[in-house]
Structure 1
């Protein structure tokens, strides 16, 4: 079972992880809805497509754009459809 934690709180857990470029992509439904806040940030990966982000909010602390996902990944990255990944201090084990 893989877990993602931030600020001392487990925010996601799943045994269905896809690893791409060293990043663990969790199924979106494995992430707690109550810690995610929408973000307007986007970025572009040449082979995966346009990424969107969520800000984490745990116990009143925020971590802007710490969660990313590809709403419509390119064909080369279709395995991450419906999945999210973490960074900015989120610990994945």
Structure 2
């Protein structure tokens, strides 16, 4: 079997990314080795995804079939023939 596959793929990926980042960092540095880190992260993610998928599939299928057939046929025929024959024979004899 020969399989020819022609694939035309058109992919349009539109990505709109809106990233709102609010970072609040509170750093208290004292001579004391204690470090206070206050991290407030506000993440607003707006994702607009436009996916256009076009698939063009051309399929050319060629099949070479080599068939070897070994057939064992057992045929039994039961024939019941009912024949009713009425025969009327008319014999005409002419003597000269």
Q: Normalising TM by the smaller chain, what interval?
A: under 0.3
Q: Which has the higher contact order (CA 8 A, sep 6+)?
A: 2
Report the structure, 1 or 2, having the larger helix content. Answer: 1
Larger-Rg structure:
2
TM-score norm. by structure 1 comes to: 0.18
State TM-score, norm by structure 2: 0.17
